[in-house]
């Protein structure tokens, strides 16, 4: 089965339903869905052997992760040691790129610092800490370094500029090279997670289900292969897979959605649209079912007659077809819950 617009509309509908559960006011709240999509793409990059500023992108995504940006989860306890370690690793990645680091040794007027990125100017002193991290990750994805911005984040995290480690000390830190084999299934899951957040951003931006569906189909239909980003033109037919991931992170940091780029990344890891739909359906239906049946309140039964719910779902997926739709999959999971969990 190839792409079917109705399947894309169903994905959007179920994403909206899940968002309603996590936050009933999500349509008007300013959740940074594209930040989440950018972090997911950086995690995808981490599955490859990376170097230079791509390592900085990955390290910055880990910093954002440890800061606790996820509104749909309980915020982690503040771990100052972890965040400082993240910053040092980020700094090492910046310094290892071979660029001049004189700006790191200079004291800057951080409140009035302005940075041009993509099509807008950012006044750093007006940004939140997470927004500064977004900007840093976006700049690195565009191949740029701003040590003053690093200083601003360092100060936001409670450190002084006098407490910055020396360049030689940072470069002397030994970072083990990646040795694990790439997990294609995990990479596919990260691309599926990106879909959750891209769909959510379209829905939040339009603030109306029918308008969001129309907007989504319009964005999806755009097959332009040239992307203009941060003053450069990128031909998606000519660049490599890593550059496409760089672009995806950068566009997300800049608040832009490009589904043609997203599709190219799907192809890069061997993910077809039907496979995307099936993986999305399984994850979304299970999450939605758990939430509807008391997961947040702690009353949901996860183990049904000795087996976890995702095992039952995997069995249902063996006979479920995309043409049946996600409503049918949800109903079958509900039947299993009644038979094996509630009656046990």
277 is a domain residue: yes
310 is a domain residue: yes
Q: Which two tokens stand for residue 71?
A: 């509104």
Same structural domain for residues 3 and 95? no
Last residue of a domain, one of 108, 137, 171: 171
The CA distance from 273 to 14, in Å, is: 17
Q: How many CA atoms are closer than 13 Å to the CA of 10, on its beta-carbon side?
A: 23
DSSP state of 234: E
Same structural domain for residues 65 and 8? no
Same structural domain for residues 62 and 4? no
Same structural domain for residues 72 and 145? yes
Same structural domain for residues 164 and 111? yes
> H or E element: which one contains 10?
helix 5-22
Q: Which two tokens stand for residue 332?
A: 């079958």
Q: Supply the CATH number for residue 283's domain.
A: 1.10.4010.10
Same structural domain for residues 2 and 91? no
21 is a domain residue: no
306 is a domain residue: yes
Q: How many CA atoms are closer than 13 Å to the CA of 320, on its beta-carbon side?
A: 25
The CA distance from 294 to 195, in Å, is: 25
220 is a domain residue: no
The CA distance from 204 to 29, in Å, is: 8
Directed axis angle between helix 326-336 and helix 309-319, to 10°?
A: 130
CB count in 10 Å sphere of residue 260: 16
Same structural domain for residues 7 and 85? no
Number of domains within the chain? 2
Q: Which domain holds residue 141?
A: 50-171
Do residues 242 and 48 touch, judged by C-beta distance below 8 A?
Answer: yes
Same structural domain for residues 159 and 77? yes
Last residue of a domain, one of 148, 171, 194: 171
Last residue of a domain, one of 147, 171, 195: 171
User: Which residues make Cβ contacts (< 8 Å) with residue 55, sequence separation at least 6?
Assistant: 93, 96
CB count in 10 Å sphere of residue 160: 8
DSSP state of 98: T
28 is a domain residue: no
Nearest by Cα to 128 from 157, 165, 100, 96: 157
Angle (CA) 122-215-6 rounded to 5° is 140
Same structural domain for residues 90 and 158? yes
Same structural domain for residues 57 and 167? yes
The CA distance from 338 to 344, in Å, is: 9
**The total number of residues written for the chain in this structure:** 344
Same structural domain for residues 5 and 55? no
Please give the chain's pLDDT, 344 residues, in tens. 467 788 899 899 999 999 998 899 999 998 999 999 999 999 999 887 667 789 999 999 999 999 988 887 766 666 888 999 999 999 999 998 877 788 888 888 998 999 999 999 999 999 999 999 999 999 999 999 999 999 999 999 999 999 999 999 898 888 776 666 678 888 999 999 999 999 999 999 999 999 999 999 999 999 999 999 999 999 999 999 999 999 999 999 999 999 999 999 999 999 999 899 999 999 899 988 988 888 878 888 888 988 999 899 999 999 998 888 888 999 999 999 988 887 65
219 is a domain residue: no
Directed axis angle between helix 147-156 and helix 129-141, to 10°?
A: 150
Residue with tokens 């009933």: 24
Buried residues in 271-293 as b, exposed as e (16+ CB within 10 A): bebeebbbbbbbbbbbbbbbbeb
pTM over 0.95: no
Same structural domain for residues 78 and 2? no
249 is a domain residue: no
DSSP string, 211-226: HHHHHHHHHHH----E
């Amino acid at each position: 089965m190839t792409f079917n617009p109705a399947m894309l509309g169903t994905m959007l509908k179920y994403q909206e339903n899940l968002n309603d559960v996590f936050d009933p006011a999500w349509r008007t709240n300013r959740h940074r869905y594209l930040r989440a999509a950018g972090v997911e793409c950086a995690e995808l990059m981490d599955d490859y052997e990376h170097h230079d500023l791509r390592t900085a992108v990955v390290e910055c995504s880990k910093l954002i992760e440890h800061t606790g940006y996820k509104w749909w989860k309980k915020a982690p306890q503040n771990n100052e040691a972890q965040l400082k370690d993240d910053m040092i690793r980020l700094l090492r990645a910046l310094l290892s790129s071979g660029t001049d680091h004189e700006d790191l040794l200079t004291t800057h007027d951080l409140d009035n610092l302005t940075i041009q990125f993509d099509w807008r100017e950012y006044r750093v002193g007006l940004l939140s800490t997470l927004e500064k991290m977004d900007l840093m990750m976006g700049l690195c994805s565009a191949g740029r370094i701003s040590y003053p911005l690093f200083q601003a984040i360092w100060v936001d995290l409670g450190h002084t500029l006098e407490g910055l480690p020396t360049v030689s000390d940072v470069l002397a830190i030994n970072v083990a090279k990646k040795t694990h084999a790439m997990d294609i299934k995990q990479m596919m899951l990260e691309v599926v997670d990106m879909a959750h957040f891209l769909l959510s951003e379209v829905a939040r931006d339009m603030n109306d289900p029918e308008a969001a569906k129309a907007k989504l189909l319009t964005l999806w239909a755009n097959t332009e292969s040239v992307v203009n980003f941060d003053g450069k033109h990128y031909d998606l037919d000519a660049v490599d897979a890593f550059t496409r991931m760089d672009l995806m992170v950068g566009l997300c940091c800049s608040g832009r959605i490009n589904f043609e780029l997203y599709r190219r990344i799907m192809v890069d890891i061997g993910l077809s649209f039907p496979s995307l739909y099936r993986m999305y359906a399984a994850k979304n239906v299970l999450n939605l079912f758990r939430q509807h049946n008391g997961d947040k309140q702690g009353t949901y039964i996860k183990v049904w007659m000795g087996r976890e719910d995702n095992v039952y779902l995997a069995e249902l997926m063996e006979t479920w077809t995309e043409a049946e739709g996600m409503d049918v999959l949800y109903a079958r999971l509900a039947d299993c819950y009644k038979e094996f969990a509630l009656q046990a």
